[in-house]
């Protein structure tokens, strides 16, 4: 009951024409968060569903605060889909207005100054011309924080907005890239993505599925942990990562860089070199001089979305590491569980068939 009443109070204030919102909304928001600690999961989800209305319809400040409240509740375990789409749609509208504001500041500069400098110099003047856009620019970080919390916890909403061309175009058009860094990383995630992994020299191949893997350091580690095993049983020779390091790339503990324990946590040593399919030579082998063909490498610093498609599926070719390389085990998004599943071990005939088609394919 207390949670419901605190939501009532917040919504009343959100639409009040006379309330001094900067002073009264934060305490009302804190009351919701505090009372949610004592409520059932069903009651918290019901509160999220009710807060969807001010997120969608209220003025920018109360909508931004409502979004932050929802994001906090989701961080505490509430169901992100209850209000997630509303938050992401309002974030989209706010970013569109903020983009117009930044572009107006850049036009005032009439030169090659960075967007950040243009906003600093001309924000006050442009705010008088475009007050709504200026408000959106001022509140955008609140929406971005809530949107990130939602996308971090909902693969379904990530998938929905990955198919939204207007949303993706807006992210590309937005002038201040650093503000969207985490949002863009989340939008590049490949959830439930199937890939082919083939070792051309050993004629071994696997169809895998990945979820929650944000970069190729994590992917490389899980490939080694999953595919290295007894060659007599169809797996690859080699040394698997330390179990602690492998679990750190799934959902296990790992220390942050500034944690004293980081110095004692096991490192991962590269077991392979990862190649795009375009590296394959006409005879079905990988280049003998790997550094001369590094443009075909799948870099650990990249993401799974960078891996090139062949006939509609991303393909990873495995070769020996060209040099010794180690890295810290972990997850770019610590709250997201990483998974790599072997869906199928390919027969030798199918591996040969894939290699033949790739070797003959135009580049």
**4-38 residue pLDDT tens:** 999 999 999 999 887 677 889 999 999 999 999 99
Domain assignments of the chain as residue spans, ordered by start = 2-187, 193-360
Instruction: Compute φ and ψ for 273, nearest 5 degrees.
Output: -110, 130
Over the Cα atoms of the chain, what is R_g?
Answer: 25
| Cα 135 to Cα 254: distance, rounded to the nearest angstrom | 40
Q: Which residues pair with 210 in a beta bridge?
A: 193, 340
E strand spans, 83-211:
193-199, 204-211
Q: What angle do CA 120, 126, 132 make, to 5 degrees?
A: 110
Task: Provide the pLDDT confidence category of residue 247 given band limits of 50, 70 and 90.
Answer: very high
Percent of the chain with pLDDT over 70: 100
Percent of the chain with pLDDT over 90: 92
**At residue 3, does pLDDT exceed 90?**
yes
Look at residue 116 in the predicted model and tell me its pLDDT.
Answer: 93
Mean pLDDT of 170-182: 91
According to DSSP H, which parts of 249-319 are helical? none
Look at residue 258 in the predicted model and tell me its pLDDT.
Answer: 85
Q: If DSSP codes are grouped into helix, strand and coil, which group holds residue 123?
A: helix
What are the tokens at 268? 């991962």
**At residue 329, does pLDDT exceed 80?**
yes
Q: What is the residue whose two structure tokens read 């003047």?
A: 125
User: Per residue in 123-159, pLDDT tens?
Assistant: 999 999 999 999 999 999 999 999 999 999 999 999 9
């Amino acid at each position: 009951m207390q949670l419901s009443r605190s939501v009532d109070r917040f919504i009343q204030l959100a639409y009040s024409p006379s309330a001094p919102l900067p002073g009264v909304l934060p305490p009302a928001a804190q009351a919701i968060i505090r009372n949610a600690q004592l409520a059932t999961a069903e009651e918290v989800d019901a509160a999220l569903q009710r807060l969807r209305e001010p997120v969608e319809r209220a003025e920018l400040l109360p909508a931004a605060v409502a979004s932050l409240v929802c994001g906090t509740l989701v961080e505490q375990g509430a169901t992100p889909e209850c209000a997630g789409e509303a938050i992401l749609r309002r974030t989209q509208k706010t970013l569109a207005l903020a983009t117009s504001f930044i572009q107006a500041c850049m036009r005032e500069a009439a030169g090659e100054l960075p967007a950040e400098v243009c906003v600093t110099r001309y924000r006050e003047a442009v705010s008088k011309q475009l007050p709504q856009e200026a408000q959106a620019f001022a509140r955008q970080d609140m929406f971005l924080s809530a949107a990130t919390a939602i996308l971090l916890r909902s693969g379904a909403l990530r998938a929905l907005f990955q198919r939204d061309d207007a949303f993706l175009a807006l992210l590309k058009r937005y002038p201040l890239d650093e503000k969207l860094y985490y949002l863009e990383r989340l939008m590049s995630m490949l959830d439930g993505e199937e890939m082919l992994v083939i070792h051309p020299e050993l004629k071994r191949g696997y169809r895998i599925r990945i979820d929650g893997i944000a970069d190729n350091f994590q992917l490389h580690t899980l490939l080694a942990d999953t595919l290295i095993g007894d060659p007599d049983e169809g797996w690859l020779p080699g040394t698997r990562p330390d179990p602690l390091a492998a679990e750190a790339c799934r959902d296990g503990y790992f220390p942050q860089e500034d944690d004293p324990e980081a110095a004692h946590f096991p490192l991962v040593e590269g077991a392979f070199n990862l190649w795009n399919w375009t590296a394959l030579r006409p005879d079905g082998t990988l280049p003998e001089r790997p550094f001369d063909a590094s443009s075909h490498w799948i870099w650990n610093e990249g993401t799974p979305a960078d891996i090139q498609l062949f006939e509609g599926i991303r393909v990873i070719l495995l070769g020996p590491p060209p040099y010794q390389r180690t890295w810290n085990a972990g997850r770019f998004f610590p709250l997201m569980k990483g998974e790599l599943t072997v869906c199928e071990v390919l027969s030798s005939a199918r591996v040969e068939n894939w290699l033949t088609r790739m070797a003959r394919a135009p580049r």
